[in-house]
Amino acid sequence: MRAFRAAGPADAAALLHLVDGLADFEHLPRPDAAARARFARDLAASPPLFHALLCEEEGVPVGYAIWFSTYSTFLAQPSLYLEDIFVLPEYWGEGIGRAFMVELCARALAAGYGRLEWQVLGWNRHAIDFYLALGAQQQTEWLPYRLDRPRMERLAAGAGTPESRT
């Protein structure tokens, strides 16, 4: 039997197992011990730093979604930002991803959110096709940028590039 439920602090190990699966799929390093400890801490924080939804098949975790709130100044409404959605590949095609998206939309609407946003790796054609089939619109006018921790530290210390000081 399939069940979807909110994940809590007791689910940290199960969620991290699935995060490992996502890392493997995306050819990224798995979270190290310190990151795993922060993840478990942040899952238990009050108020929570993120929300998690877990899908279990016969009691075995097979997928998860993690999200948090952002805010749109132009809509003057919060947005649901989907950080991760992952279903173990052996469960693809069973409607789990769609069920996650339906649940996230319902939660966003109930909370008065104006939109749901996420990012997709450009090479992940399976995910792109899935989202397009749901009616999602690919955004082309906004480009994602990121400052990782070392770059934030350099910039905060005043050691950014000359172009960043203009």
For the chain, what are the domain ranges? 2-139
3-state secondary structure of 6: strand
* Sheet containing 60-72: order of strands: 2-6, 51-57, 60-72, 77-87, 115-117
Which comes out higher in pLDDT, residue 162 or 41?
41
**Per-residue pLDDT at 162:** 56
Catalytic one of 64, 81, 113, 131: 131
Longest dimension (CA), the chain: 59
pLDDT digits (tens, 9 = 90+) for 71-127: 999 999 999 999 999 999 999 999 999 999 999 999 999 999 999 999 999 999 999
Domain with residues 2-139, CATH architecture: 3-Layer(aba) Sandwich (3.40)
**Dist CA 2 CA 135 (whole Å):** 25
Record the pTM.
0.89
Q: What letter represents residue 55's amino acid?
A: C
Whole-number pLDDT of residue 144: 87
**Tens digits of residue pLDDT in 8-47:** 999 999 999 999 999 999 999 999 999 999 999 999 999 9
pLDDT for the residue numbered 164: 47
Question: Which residue has better confidence, 144 or 19?
Answer: 19
End-to-end CA distance of the chain: 59
Collect all residues with Cβ–Cβ distance below 8 Å to 61 and sequence separation of at least 6.
11, 14, 15, 17, 18, 54, 55
Tell me the C-alpha to C-alpha distance, in Å, between residue 95 and each of 2, 63, 68, 98, 145. 11, 11, 23, 5, 32
pLDDT band at 159 (very low <50, low <70, confident <90, very high): confident
Which residues have C-beta within 8 Å of that of residue 40, sequence separation ≥ 6?
9, 12, 16
Provide the residue type at 81 as one letter: Y
Mark whether 64 is an active-site residue. Answer: no
> In the structure encoding, which two tokens stand for residue 122, read together?
């450009």
